Amino acid sequence: MLYLYLDESGDLGDLIQSPGTSRHFVIAILEINGDTNKKVMEKAVARTLRNKLHGKRHRQANELKAAKTVFAIKEYFYRQVASIPFKLYAVILDKARFANRRN
């Protein structure tokens, strides 16, 4: 079976000069083929959250956030999933090219 996980980053607002508004909107899709590979990925996420992000120095985390995670933890996670084949697709919209355009 084929598993697809979709996530987005950024906001859809077009006023990029406003504080707190992102310059890009990103859609990412993770593709995993097979039940066994899916289970390995799920275990890797759970193990990383449990072992690296639930300590005294980290707040209670429910998901991995790449922008807010130090590189050593990203490496730890990747070592967990390096043995399984997966594909990652991304669409990146540079909002400056479309911002504030009205008909």
Kindly state whether residue 103 falls inside one of the protein's structural domains: no
Kindly state whether residue 33 falls inside one of the protein's structural domains: yes
Q: pLDDT tens digits for 19-74?
A: 777 888 899 999 999 999 999 999 999 999 888 887 655 556 677 887 778 899 99
Global pTM reads 0.75
**Total domain count for the chain?**
1
Kindly state whether residue 21 falls inside one of the protein's structural domains: yes
Kindly state whether residue 52 falls inside one of the protein's structural domains: yes
Rounded mean pLDDT, 5-30? 82
Q: Which residues span the domain enclosing 73?
A: 2-97
Kindly state whether residue 102 falls inside one of the protein's structural domains: no
Q: pLDDT tens digits for 67-102?
A: 778 899 999 999 999 999 999 999 998 888 765 555
DSSP letter string, the chain:
-EEEEEEEES---S-TTSTT--SEEEEEEEEEESHHHHHHHHHHHHHHHHHHSSSTTS---SS--GGGS-HHHHHHHHHHHTTS-EEEEEEEEEGGGTTT---
Angle between helical axes of 35-52 and 71-81 (0-180°, round to 10): 150
Kindly state whether residue 85 falls inside one of the protein's structural domains: yes
What is the pLDDT, as a whole number, of residue 16?
65
